[in-house]
Amino acid sequence: MFGLSPGHLLLLLLIVVLIFGTKKLRNIGEDLGSAIKGFRKGMHDGQSEDASSPQLKADPLQSTTPPPPTDTKPETGPTNNTP
């Protein structure tokens, strides 16, 4: 396993326990487990939501604002009515 013998792994485990302590390691494990559980639940809820209501997703390329009004008056140039 990664070039480490079981003796080396045991030594690393002992050092980690001495540095952090058993209570701290237990709390880290619980926090990590609850974070993974919440992540999986969120992924599952997101997938079921996507499958049940695909109409709710908006197309990011489609604009929701109406186009600007166009001017329907014909342009008139300057009139020269002098005889």
List, for residues 29-45, the tens digit of each pLDDT value: 999 999 999 999 998 88
User: Once rounded to an integer, what is the mean pLDDT over residues 42-63?
Assistant: 66
Which residue is listed with tokens 């926090």? 31
Question: What's the CA gap between 37 and 60, in Å, rounded?
Answer: 31
Residue 67: Cβ-neighbour burial (10 angstroms; 0-12, 13-18, 19+) = exposed
Question: What's the CA gap between 40 and 46, in Å, rounded?
Answer: 10
Domain boundaries, the chain: 22-50
Question: What's the CA gap between 77 and 83, in Å, rounded?
Answer: 18
Is the predicted pLDDT of residue 28 greater than 80, yes or no?
yes
Portion of the chain with pLDDT greater than 90, in percent:
35
Higher pLDDT, 46 or 26: 26
Is residue 51 a contact partner of residue 59, using CB atoms and an 8 Å limit? no
pLDDT attached to residue 27: 94
